[in-house]
Amino acid sequence: MDLRNNQITLGELWDNSRARSVFQRRIPMLSKHPVKGAARTVTLEQLSALLSSWIPESMVQGVVGELKKL
């Protein structure tokens, strides 16, 4: 999947069923978060920076790597 240098938005990713399943499987708390709808304009780069303070960087990179393979 073309992540456009991590500038793809979460809305675009969540609209893709295969990408959505990556998030649901690897970071389930994100797909259930109450602000999920408001986060549709957040880029993957912005999300990575935010998540890296809460979860291991290897987990974030695992998600990005799997998305690139789609």
Q: pLDDT by residue (tens digit) across 29-55?
A: 877 777 777 789 999 999 899 888 888
For residue 29, the tally of other CB atoms under 10 A from its CB is 9
- Predicted TM-score of the model (pTM): 0.84
Task: Mark out the alpha helices in 1-70 (DSSP H runs).
Answer: 10-15, 17-26, 28-31, 44-51, 57-69
**Hunting for tokens 């990408």 — which residue is that?**
19
Q: In this model, does residue 24 exceed pLDDT 80? A: yes
pLDDT for the residue 51: 85
What's the token pair of residue 28? 């389930």
pLDDT for the residue 9: 97
Q: In this model, does residue 14 exceed pLDDT 80? A: yes
pLDDT for the residue 17: 97
Burial of 66 (0-12, 13-18, 19+ CB in 10 A): middle
